Structures are given as C-alpha cells and as structure tokens.
A and B are shown apart, each in its own frame.
Chain A
C-alpha cells in the first residue's frame, strides 16, 4: 500500500508563490463547482457574481478594500507579536478598545474640524488598543504569565465595557430602544478616497509597509526575529527579552486599536456591538497565512477581503450562508494555503505492513 506524506524541501522553491496561488485557486474553484452543483446552484452564475461583486468594478473594489483594512491591521497586529513568538489572541478586544476611545474623542471634540478631530481619534484608538495589550505584555515579561490566555480573556472585558456603554451612558436617545451609540458627526468620519473606499486604505497600507520595513530592515526587527526563533539564542546574542516583550505587545495592541478607530470612523459610523466585526479573530488567520511576516499581511488581507465581499454577495442569489462560508474557506485556503508546496513536496511512500512478530 502507498500513502502520501509531506516532505520538507531542503530549499524553498524560489518564485513559486504566484504559481501556487493560481493553481490553488483553480483547484479550489473546481472543488467549489462540486459543492455548488450538489447544493443546486449554477456554478457559472455564482462564480460570475463572486468575481464581479468583489473585484469586477470600482464599487466592488471599494468594498473589498474597506474590508481589507481591518483584516490587514488585525493581521499585522498578530504578525508583529508573532515575529517574536508571542500570540496576541486579543486583537478583537483591542479593536473594540480602539473604537471606544475614538468614539469618546469624537464626543469630546464635537464641532472640531476634521483635520484636527480625526487624527486625534486615531491616536486615541491606538492608545486604547495599546493599553489593553500592555497588561498581558507586562505580565508575560515580568512573571511569565501566558499571553494567549490573558489577551483572550481581555476580549471579554472590552466587549462587556462596550455593551455597558451602548446600553447605558452612550445610548442614542433616538435609537428607539436599540443598544446603539449615536451616529458620528460628519467631521468625525474619514474622508472618502474613491466611491465608498475611505482613507483608511491608505493609512493601513502605510502602517503595514512601515512595520514590514521595521521588522526586516532594522536591528530592532532583527532582534525580534532572533528572539522569536529561540529565546536561548537571543540571550546568547545579548538581546534582553523582557523590555522587548512589553514593547511588542503594546505595538501589537496599538495596531489592532487603530483598526478599531478606522473601522468606526470609516465604515460603521457609530459604536454598535458588532463594530469589531470578528476582524480580530480573522486577523489570526491572516497572520498565519502570511506566515507571520508583517510584509505578507497586505496581500493576504486583500484576498481575504475580496472573498468575504464576494461570499456575502452570492447570498443574495440564494446561496445559503453556510455554503457561502464553505466556498470562502475553500478559496482562501486553496489560494493561499497552496503556498505550503513551496516549502514541502508530496512524496509517496510504501506503507509498512501491520503486524507483530514475523
């Protein structure tokens, strides 16, 4: 009997990324045909809509880009921590913290001009996320508390705080009983870039490029990578870990907080319970698919965003949300997950016969 195993390539394939992307996408779409036919849909019609609604027009691109912004920033937050081997599972809560801080500044600064108000809101959102992540960072550095647990638990804290605000002090008197904060004033909204795409696209791109550059080109980023590869090696090289752990967690939280500020100011326009949109958790997937490299996050987030937008759109053609989600997952993992073959090759080996003594 034969079976297939993944064998690590001695050297990764050079320039295999675009090819594996295309092959993976085609395989995923072919598998998707089976799924769609089995669930009683016309695959051609569905795929046409999937494509048109996500990248087929400038309007579609605007939607995709707006979604890629929080995905990319949340992914960057996870990847920056991940470069040092830390897991920030709390991007979801940090997004909420950022959004709440931005909304608070928007209330304080009512009537201020946009060029003053919006930067202040975004800075506040960074501080909010950073503050929420600083606790886990300090606890990890000083007494070795696992940051996965603490960041995860703080998600709940941030969510409860937000619920209290929108059920209580921040509740919009005109919301007819719904737990919503009031709409932001026009001055507090991010200006549009084109169509519905807002300036957050530019901000997110710059932030991702900045961190990609910092991690790959500075001695600080180098130390980060050494520490992420092996703590013992970092000590041997004379890199002190504790200060770095705190800095990295604060930066990671700040990036996620910024995602919350941009999402509030650019897309949702008010604090509601779903303002974080699950982007904090999706960010973990984005970072993992980008192999924890900050520079790889933008491309993954863009694909992720397009697939999400397309997946929502095909639901208006009667595709159930579960079928749509399976299709999204297929495309995402097909297109990006196929990159694994750049580092591993498939090998068929003979299975040994089962049995005891001979």
Chain B
C-alpha cells in the first residue's frame, strides 16, 4: 500500500434524495486499491445511502461512480457484483437451514451445484484469509461472528475485488472484532479493497489505513491518513457544524432540582449493560446537553428515564416524586414530556389521524364515561396545531401525509402541551430542514425560559453548544466529563467523546 496506489473507487459528487430527506448532498469518496478505508459518520450522515449506491442497491440522482477508473451505472446489486463489488450488510442474509457452502452458492448463477467442489473452493479461500469455518455446517449452528465470516466468504467466492462492510463489528465481541481486523488486513494485502463503515473510533484507528468522514450527507473530510489523525479529531469532525439558527438564550439562574437520576443502570437490546451508575440532576430553567458518539448509551438512558426500558439499578425522581418503576403514562402525568428518537415508530402512530395522534398522551382526560368526546379531542388537537404552528391537511386524515418537520412539531407540541416540568428530547432536530430545526430549538428555549428542566440528547455539537447551559459527554454508558458550553473547546469535547476521562 503506497500513496500512489491507483484508485479502486471514486464516488464523485453523489446526490440522493428521498421524499422529505436529502440523504447524500454532494458526497465524495476516493479509495485506493489494496487499502482498508473507513467511512465514518453519525446515524443519518448518509453512510448507508452512499454504500448502497456503491453496491447497486440505489441509483444516485446525480454524480458518478467510477470503479478502477471506469465509469459505471449499476442497476442492481448483482450488476455491482459483476464489477467486483460485494457488500456485507448489517443484517445477515443467510438461510439458517442451509450449510455454509449452500449459502455461499445461493443466488450465484450456477446451473449445476457441484457440492464437494464448492466446499473445497470455499475451504481454500477460508484458509487463505484466516476465516476458519467448516463449509458443511448448517448456518443455524453458527455464532454471529461465524455467520459474518460466511457473508465475507460469499463475496470473496464471487471474486469481489471491493468489499463493503456495513458496521461489521456491531454484532461482534471485542475478540471477534480484533480477529475481523486481521482478516481484513489479509484481504487488503491480497490486493483487494475494503470499505469499512463504522462509528467506533478505536476500531477505525486500529484497522484502517484511511478514513472519510460524512456529515449531513456531505463529505467533510476525505481520505485522511489514519496514522496522522487521532480519535478526538475524528469525533470532532463527525459531529461538526450544521447551520445554527437559534441564538444562545440569555443566562438565567437555575431553580430547584426537577429531574434527579441516581446510580441509573439499564441494559441494551442484547441485555448487556448500556448505562452504568449514571448520576444527573437537572434544575428548573436549565438545558443540560448530552454529547457522545452514538451507541454509547444515550438512547437507552432516555428510554429508561421515559419508562420504556426497565431500570436495573438506581432511582429516577421528578420534582420529588419517585418514578423509578412507574409506567410511561404516570411519568407524563407527573410532568415528563418525552420526545423519542424514533418519531414514527414510538412517538406517533402512523396509521392514525392527526387528531388521534395529538391526543395520544391525554385521551384519558377527554372522555365522558367510556366515550371519547370528539369535539374535545378536535379542540385539543387544534390548540396544539395553532400554538406550535403545525401545518397539516385535514385533521381527520392519517398523519402519513405530513412532512418530517410538521410531524416533529406535532409530536413536540403534544409533549409540551401539558406544560411539563421536565422535557426529555432525544435527537429532536435530526433530519429536519432548517425551518424545522429552528422551530424545535426555539420551543426548547421557551420551555427553559418558562422554568422547565430540559435534557437534550443530540448528535449535533453546535446545537448542544448553543442551547445547553451545561454539556455532559457520555461514553460507554457513563458521563465522562462536564463542560461549560460558553468556554469549551471542540477538540476537548471530541477527546471526551473518544473516551478520555476527566482527570481532575
């Protein structure tokens, strides 16, 4: 691998728009042959879209895809594979009851399957790259790490010269991840090219030769030599600036403690500790921001506070009331407004109407014996629409027709309509257009002015720096450092996000 290696992949000025979202806005990527190249970025930065374009799943609206200097226009993943591009997806695409060899040959255009011949071929490739696996074993018997090897073998067996791995270490144990690093190195040394998507910084610095950072669909740093950068720089690049509109609210003396979290612990979806012994107090009239590379327990912490994830240890109190084991509805009544990260899957019911969504939190107050009083529901909905400037069609139509910004206004408006004491907002502005971002940020500032305690979890460092009165950095389920947003340096915050602890 030298700096004058020819380019294996060139993606030039790629644009891809989906209804309501621009996923790639002029992204570029250049990868040298025989290297391991990291593509970094937060959720929603456009990594997956860009890789799906490279592997033929999507077609770009604009831009060029050049492989080994030759321009290509892929129509399907098999098209891309024919040009030597193979992708290992995050979700494995294997048939559990088939053997390793059968899965590898599945979908290839072999007319006659010569089982023993293929098994021998697979074994040979496996040995060459150190992918120990028995080709005759059925896939259901394999661990996640072994299944991933099958996926890698699948692309190698089909003679892929370019391998794309979408967050390959997400399903692996640390030891398996190290092993994967060795395999990738061997693949690169064989003259093939590896594109490695991740947001785990230490893996990038450990395995990769170069890194490209995406943010908001654009390339913000291209082909950085990994030897020459450190994790803090990369973290800083990933969460850099988006156009800031809202202005820093004037200082106000915070009041009494509203939200108190003591020794909070909770588990992630795989039942591994996600948040460990977390302590946090938020006072009336302040916004506390949580920064961190995604996947460090922010999501689980928010769900635990909101009552959607069981709390394994510790205590959650809202203005003196212990809510550790209370159901979500009781927390709302006690004064917790929650804007979940997953708007359409958790915060809103997509098939129901605007009105039905507006009353989701308070429908029990809008009833007369067993009946829902529709005039009251409609009035309640109209109030939210008016107060929070939601633009909707007819309110008795499903919300599916609303734009992303208006969906979020409806959701945030509903959560704020009860004048909550504590507002918990997880990624409230992600994916919104500029107007939407400003509207939501201003609402949070208004809540602060009116004396609510606001906990803001965001991947946008500028948003955090502008809105927060205090900024906390989370790493591996713990708060590692606190910053004063008026004086903090980006570089220091980046270092804390990469896990550098508060020495003092």
A residues with a Cβ closer than 8 A to B are: 8, 10-12, 14, 217-222, 225-226, 228-230, 232-233, 235-238, 240, 352, 354-358
| B115 proximal to A (CB < 8 A) | no
What CA separation (Å) do A235 and B73 show in the bound complex? 45
Residues of A contacting B75 with CB < 8 Å? 352, 354-356
Residues of A contacting B136 with CB < 8 Å? none
Output the least CB separation between B400 and chain A (Å): 8
What CA separation (Å) do A352 and B73 show in the bound complex? 11
What CA separation (Å) do A354 and B59 show in the bound complex? 13
Does B71 lie within 8 Å of A217, measured CB to CB? Answer: no
5 example contacts (A-B, Cβ-Cβ < 8 A) are as follows A219-B372, A235-B308, A237-B360, A237-B363, A352-B59
Residues of A contacting B91 with CB < 8 Å? none
What CA separation (Å) do A228 and B332 show in the bound complex? 22
Output the least CB separation between A157 and chain B (Å): 29
Residues of B contacting A358 with CB < 8 Å? 71-73
* A11-B394, A232-B345, A357-B73 given; 7 more Cβ-contact pairs under 8 Å: A11-B397, A228-B351, A229-B350, A236-B328, A237-B329, A237-B361, A237-B363
Option from B342, B345, B349 in Cβ contact (under 8 Å) with A226: B349
Q: What mask results when residues 297 to 334 of chain B are scored 1 for a CB within 8 Å of chain A, else 0?
A: 00000000010100000000000000000011110100
- The closest CB in chain B to the CB of A14 belongs to B394
| B370 proximal to A (CB < 8 A) | yes
Residues of B contacting A220 with CB < 8 Å? 370
Residues of A contacting B330 with CB < 8 Å? 238
The B65-109 residues at the A interface (CB cut-off 8 A) are 70-75, 79, 82-83
What CA separation (Å) do A11 and B394 show in the bound complex? 9
- The closest CB in chain B to the CB of A9 belongs to B401
What CA separation (Å) do A354 and B78 show in the bound complex? 13
Output the least CB separation between B288 and chain A (Å): 23
- The closest CB in chain A to the CB of B303 belongs to A236
Residues of B contacting A352 with CB < 8 Å? 59, 75
Does A237 lie within 8 Å of B328, measured CB to CB? Answer: yes
Does A219 lie within 8 Å of B364, measured CB to CB? Answer: yes
Does A225 lie within 8 Å of B352, measured CB to CB? Answer: yes
Does B360 lie within 8 Å of A233, measured CB to CB? Answer: yes
Residues of A contacting B306 with CB < 8 Å? 236
B residues with a Cβ closer than 8 A to A are: 59, 70-75, 79, 82-83, 306, 308, 327-330, 332, 338, 340, 342, 345-352, 356, 359-361, 363-364, 367, 370-372, 374, 393-394, 397, 400-401
Closest 9 CB pairs of A and B: A238-B329, A229-B349, A229-B351, A10-B401, A357-B72, A232-B346, A233-B349, A237-B360, A218-B370
- The closest CB in chain A to the CB of B401 belongs to A10
Residue from A230, A236, A352 having most chain B Cβ neighbours under 10 A: A236
What CA separation (Å) do A232 and B75 show in the bound complex? 36
Does B347 lie within 8 Å of A229, measured CB to CB? Answer: no
What CA separation (Å) do A217 and B373 show in the bound complex? 8
What CA separation (Å) do A217 and B368 show in the bound complex? 11
Output the least CB separation between A13 and chain B (Å): 11
Residues of A contacting B346 with CB < 8 Å? 230, 232-233, 236
What CA separation (Å) do A9 and B79 show in the bound complex? 33
Does B393 lie within 8 Å of A222, measured CB to CB? Answer: no
Does A356 lie within 8 Å of B83, measured CB to CB? Answer: yes
Residues of A contacting B345 with CB < 8 Å? 230, 232-233
Known: A237-B360, A357-B71. A11 touches B328 (CB 8 A): no
What CA separation (Å) do A207 and B245 show in the bound complex? 56
- The closest CB in chain B to the CB of A214 belongs to B370
Does A222 lie within 8 Å of B356, measured CB to CB? Answer: yes
Does B308 lie within 8 Å of A226, measured CB to CB? Answer: no
Residues of B contacting A356 with CB < 8 Å? 72-75, 79, 82-83
Residues of A contacting B83 with CB < 8 Å? 356-357
What CA separation (Å) do A8 and B400 show in the bound complex? 10
What CA separation (Å) do A233 and B371 show in the bound complex? 21
Residues of A contacting B72 with CB < 8 Å? 356-358
Output the least CB separation between A151 and chain B (Å): 23
Does A236 lie within 8 Å of B308, measured CB to CB? Answer: yes
What CA separation (Å) do A225 and B348 show in the bound complex? 12
Residue from B308, B348, B360 having most chain A Cβ neighbours under 10 A: B360
Residue from A8, A235, A352 having most chain B Cβ neighbours under 10 A: A235
- The closest CB in chain B to the CB of A355 belongs to B75
What CA separation (Å) do A355 and B83 show in the bound complex? 12
Residues of A contacting B342 with CB < 8 Å? 232
Does A219 lie within 8 Å of B329, measured CB to CB? Answer: no
- The closest CB in chain B to the CB of A217 belongs to B371
Does B332 lie within 8 Å of A238, measured CB to CB? Answer: yes
Residue from A12, A235, A356 having most chain B Cβ neighbours under 10 A: A356
Residues of A contacting B372 with CB < 8 Å? 217-219, 221-222
Output the least CB separation between B352 and chain A (Å): 5
Residues of A contacting B329 with CB < 8 Å? 237-238
Output the least CB separation between A237 and chain B (Å): 5
What CA separation (Å) do A235 and B306 show in the bound complex? 11
- The closest CB in chain A to the CB of B377 belongs to A222
What CA separation (Å) do A118 and B83 show in the bound complex? 74
Output the least CB separation between B17 and chain A (Å): 16
Does B350 lie within 8 Å of A230, measured CB to CB? Answer: yes
Known: A219-B364, A236-B346, A238-B329. A226 touches B370 (CB 8 A): no
Residue from A221, A225, A233 having most chain B Cβ neighbours under 10 A: A233
Does B401 lie within 8 Å of A11, measured CB to CB? Answer: yes
Residues of B contacting A11 with CB < 8 Å? 393-394, 397, 401
- The closest CB in chain B to the CB of A239 belongs to B329
What CA separation (Å) do A104 and B217 show in the bound complex? 69
Known: A225-B352, A230-B346, A357-B70. A235 touches B394 (CB 8 A): no
